[in-house]
Amino acid sequence: MKGSVEIGKVMGIPIKLHISFILILPLFVWTFAEKSPVPFGFKGMESNYLFSALAVVLLFTCVVFHELSHSSVAIRNGIKIDSITLFIFGGVASIEKIPRDPNVESRMALAGPGMSIAIGATFFTSFLISSSLLDGVSGINLLEGFYSTLLTMEGYEGAVSEITVLFFILGYLNMFLAIFNLLPAFPMDGGRFLRAYFAKRMSYLKATRKAVYFGKVIAVLMGIFGFLVNPFLVLIAFFIYIGATEEEKATIIDISLEGTKVGDLFSTDVMSISPDASITELTVLMFKEKHMGYPVVGEGIDSGNVLGVVTLHDIRGIAMEDRDSMKVSDVMSENVICTSPEDDAVDALKLMSKNNIGRLIVMENEAMIGILSRTDLMKAIELKRER
């Protein structure tokens, strides 16, 4: 995911922090410390900022465990997990491919809420024990007191210690996380379980469309409710709606390209350029052929070898007066991303998206035999959708 920083690995899976998450952390800490009274925060308590920071760190650690539980089920079923990213609304596991087996998808979907429930129950148990041992107060009585004054939440700052409040917050929020994720709002966990349920009774595409419909309806209702009650819910509803739409598009693409190989689509009419050509010659070629990128093919002892790739992006910053003297070899990228005729077309499209490029060089026996462009793939998708 763009705008993310890797902070480590768990089970071999990179854990990343999105820039939105990094920016929102101080706001979460401030909210717990200054705006949220006991037991949902530490307002008025002596070590409010220390325990607020600890609560935020532990809360998002719990989110990582939530995502890891999804990932562990996926890995056991031979599905690769590229990374787990924490962002403003929680965590997202980047899965190589969503399983078509409804049983596998349903297990994956329920694993996350199941982990959150287990973590929440552990913290609630710790809350009950700590309130008795540290504060001399029955945890059950505290809960009754908390919820009998739910609208004011004042007067409990001296009744319990920060550690007891910490356990309550983490127990409560993990339970909330589990329940919220079980809403049948695709692409949330409950929505994925719903698709798995539908997929046992109809085609995968129809099941996806039906789950997406439910997800969008819930997103709209959540948005209306959020507009009246809490603007934060409007943002969540927006991301659910967009996520459902994008997942539907991705499913259509996967199904449209199913069974199609790169060899069925690539073009053998390859326009290339010499590394010794000037930038001016390259711009003339781009203007004439209307292609924004070209493989750089060697001459002499490197004859026929692909040395790199040059695109419009590589030459945009070069001044006009320097374009005659500079060569293609000065600006080309030597990171040549390739595919083969036997690769699946859908994997080629994912490779393009991952590297933010518009074409792949098709190689066979270490020789370039053609080019596969994003346009080639889009045409194939459109034709199959028409069928």
pLDDT band of residue 79 (cuts 50, 70, 90) is confident
Residue 130 has pLDDT above 50, yes or no: yes
The pLDDT of residue 258 is 84
151 or 213, which is more confident: 213
**How many residues in the chain?**
387
Contact 135, 159 (CB under 8 A): yes
Is residue 163 exposed (0-12), middle (13-18) or buried (19+ Cβ within 10 Å)? middle
pLDDT in tens, 87-112: 766 677 778 777 889 999 999 999 99
Helix axes 162-181, 102-133, angle to 10 degrees: 160
Strand order across the beta sheet in which 4-10 lies: 4-10, 13-18, 81-87, 90-95
CB atoms inside a 10 Å sphere around CB 254:
20
Q: Which residues 6+ apart lie within 8 Å of 148 measured at CB?
A: none
The pLDDT of residue 82 is 84
pLDDT band of residue 151 (cuts 50, 70, 90) is very low
N-terminal to C-terminal alpha carbon distance within the chain: 34
Among candidate residues 67, 105, 247, 248, the one labeled active-site is: 67
Task: Name the one residue in this structure whose structure tokens are 């995502």.
Answer: 67
Q: Is the previous residue joined to 275 through a cis bond, with omega within 30 degrees of 0? A: no
pLDDT in tens, 189-223: 999 999 999 999 999 989 999 999 999 999 999 99
pLDDT band of residue 152 (cuts 50, 70, 90) is very low
Contact 61, 21 (CB under 8 A): no
What's the whole-number mean pLDDT along residues 109-124? 95
Task: Name the one residue in this structure whose structure tokens are 């419909």.
Answer: 213
310 Rama sector, left if φ>0, alpha if ψ -120 to 50, beta otherwise: beta
Convert 211-234 to b/e letters by CB count within 10 Å (16 or more is b).
bbebbbebbeebbeebeeeeeebb
CB atoms inside a 10 Å sphere around CB 263:
17
What does the block give as tokens for 112?
């996350």
Superfamily of chain region 262-386: CBS-domain (3.10.580.10)
336 or 387, which is more confident: 336
Q: Which residues 6+ apart lie within 8 Å of 363 measured at CB?
A: 306, 338, 339, 340, 369
What does the block give as tokens for 144?
């009754």
Q: Is residue 6 annotated as part of the catalytic site, yes or no?
A: no
Is residue 266 exposed (0-12), middle (13-18) or buried (19+ Cβ within 10 Å)? buried
As a dihedral over the C-alpha atoms of residue 220, residue 224, residue 227, residue 228, rounded to 10 degrees, the angle is: -160
Going from N- to C-terminal start, the domains of the chain cover 4-182, 192-256, 262-386
59 or 383, which is more confident: 59
The pLDDT of residue 291 is 81
Residue 241 has pLDDT above 80, yes or no: yes
The pLDDT of residue 149 is 56
What does the block give as tokens for 237?
């509803």
pLDDT in tens, 290-321: 788 888 887 765 566 888 888 888 888 888 88
